[in-house]
Structure 1
Amino acid sequence: MISINHVTKEFAGKTAVKNLDLVIPDGKIFGFLGPNGAGKSTTIKMITGILPIDNGTITVNGFDITREPMKAKKIFGYVPDSPDVFLRLKGIEYLNFIGDVYDLPRDIREEKIDYLTKSFGIYEALDDYIQTYSHGMRQKTVISGVLLHDPDVWILDEPLSGLDPKSSYTLKEMMREHAAKGNTVFFSTHVLEVVEQLCDEVAIINSGQLQFRGNMKEMKEQFEADENLERVFLELTNNE
């Protein structure tokens, strides 16, 4: 579970996130929506400890990300909004580096690398340098690294970006399976169709403030029964 309590973040006098309260429960796929500049990535970077929190607290499975950062970071996996990391490493070198960070035993590491990279169709490219990969291949490599140590909490910032249909389907199935085991899956996306198909609950943020939190049925009940998610989203975000 991720608990965000009265969190505020400012940049040069401009409030990016304002007094945000949000609980992401276990056992559900939780979608995080909002227009560009709404505060989604800023919120995710505070959850993961990349950005400091100006006011408020964030805990991941009970660990405060500010006071207990190492304990918190050991139990979550984070897919950033850009896969352009460690470009001078080969794919296999990057994955082994991640395995070293989390002290994964060699046999478990090799089994997980084989499974994940074959699932995402990048196994044959592991001896190539990441800088030669396409955007989609880099995304698959990052996702494989994130899932390598089997974290309880998944924090995914636009994880489907650049994925081919087969890999997108594979990741969505993995997300469903992970949540079904009672774990946390928290992801941001701009693809509204994915939200309707995949999410158990959703939160919508705009101008740094929470506009809605609930399931799809509850969101549509606030509007006309025949309205689709796109219309609901536009109304909640003031048509931005």
Structure 2
Amino acid sequence: MIEFEHVSKSYDPALAPAVDDLSLSVRDGEIFGLLGHNGAGKTTLLKMLVGVLAPSSGRILVDGFDVGENPLEAKRRLCFVDDSPDHLLRLKVSEYLGFIADMYAVPDERRAPRVERLAREYGMEGRLSDTLQALSHGMRQKVMIMGALLVNPPVWVLDEPLTGLDPRSSFTLKSSMRAHADAGNTVLFSTHVLDVAERVVDRVGVIDHGRLLFVGTVDEMRDHFASDRDESLEQMFLELTGGAPTVAEEDL
């Protein structure tokens, strides 16, 4: 379970906060989609959750552990797939996965079978000896996802995880997210690709200018916009945020 309690983050006191007094609970056993246009505050919120950034105020709990007061205990319970896969580029894929397994103390007898299975599922069987810098953006993204699935902690935090993935890998990741949540775990992911979120999430939160505008199921969003029960998630998003989301050309 993830809990944000009155969390705010300001980069400059003279400017509006990137995250503004946000409170939210993400439950065990659900996939929660955080929706917002680019610059809405999604990445800032997730980086505070995983300890990359410190909140200006408020607190964040992962399975009851305060990220600020007990960072190691909180981090042991989550994995994070960043929106940029450009990390440790001089390592080979196998070395990167070994490093992640070491960080999370994955037993030796579990590593090789998991790496073999994940490489097969994500079409990376012949690339384990390649360096990350030799891979395309999409392949690097696969490696980051493989690292998260290799350690398999209770809480998955994914920032725009489907960007750059081919259709097969995208389907595999969504299936893995569903299985993880169905096993009683927690999946929190951000996206601005609304039709993807509509097919995947159990609940959704809409964030705009750092403030949480709505939390609930897609059906509850439709009830909120009761004038048209057939309204798409994209149409509802536009009404909530008052404008069109910024969508990269490759996502259209």
* TM-score, length of structure 2 as denominator length: 0.94
Report matched runs for 1:1-240 at 5 Å: 1-13=1-13, 14=15, 15-223=17-225, 224-240=228-244
Q: Distance in 2 between matches of 1:112 and 1:62?
A: 29
Cα RMSD after superposing both structures: 0.8
Write out per-residue CA displacement over residues 107-153 of structure 1, whole angstroms, 9 at most, x where no aligned residue. Answer: 20111111111110112101011101011110000001111111100
Determine what percentage of the aligned residue pairs are the same residue. Answer: 50
The amino acid across from 2:5 in the alignment is N
The amino acid across from 2:199 in the alignment is Q
Specify the SS of the correspondent of 1:118.
helix
Q: Distance in 1 between matches of 2:156 and 2:29?
A: 11
Aligned-residue offset at 1:35: 1.1
Gaps of 5+ in 2: 245-252
Determine if contact 2:158/2:190 at 8 Å carries over to the other structure: yes
Q: Distance in 2 between matches of 1:190 and 1:205?
A: 11
Q: Distance in 2 between matches of 1:110 and 1:204?
A: 39
Write out per-residue CA displacement over residues 17-72 of structure 1, whole angstroms, 9 at most, x where no aligned residue. Answer: 11000000110110000111110000000000100111001000101000000000
Q: Distance in 1 between matches of 2:39 and 2:151?
A: 32
Q: Distance in 2 between matches of 1:225 and 1:91?
A: 47
Determine if contact 2:38/2:192 at 8 Å carries over to the other structure: no
Specify the SS of the correspondent of 1:121.
coil
Specify the SS of the correspondent of 2:28.
coil
Q: Distance in 2 between matches of 1:36 and 1:149?
A: 29
Q: Distance in 1 between matches of 2:198 and 2:106?
A: 36
The amino acid across from 2:159 in the alignment is D
Q: Distance in 2 between matches of 1:96 and 1:123?
A: 15
Gaps of 5+ in 1: none
The amino acid across from 1:236 in the alignment is L
Specify the SS of the correspondent of 1:172.
helix
Q: Distance in 1 between matches of 2:236 and 2:107?
A: 48
Specify the SS of the correspondent of 2:174.
helix
* TM-score, length of structure 1 as denominator length: 0.98
The amino acid across from 2:90 in the alignment is R
Q: Distance in 2 between matches of 1:84 and 1:117?
A: 19
The count of aligned residue pairs is: 240
The amino acid across from 2:149 in the alignment is L
Aligned-residue offset at 1:5: 0.2
The amino acid across from 2:9 in the alignment is K
The amino acid across from 1:9 in the alignment is K
The amino acid across from 1:11 in the alignment is Y
Aligned-residue offset at 1:226: 2.4
Give runs of ≥4 in structure 1 deviating > 2 Å. none
Q: Distance in 1 between matches of 2:230 and 2:171?
A: 28
The amino acid across from 1:229 in the alignment is L
Q: Distance in 2 between matches of 1:35 and 1:135?
A: 22
Q: Distance in 2 between matches of 1:196 and 1:185?
A: 15
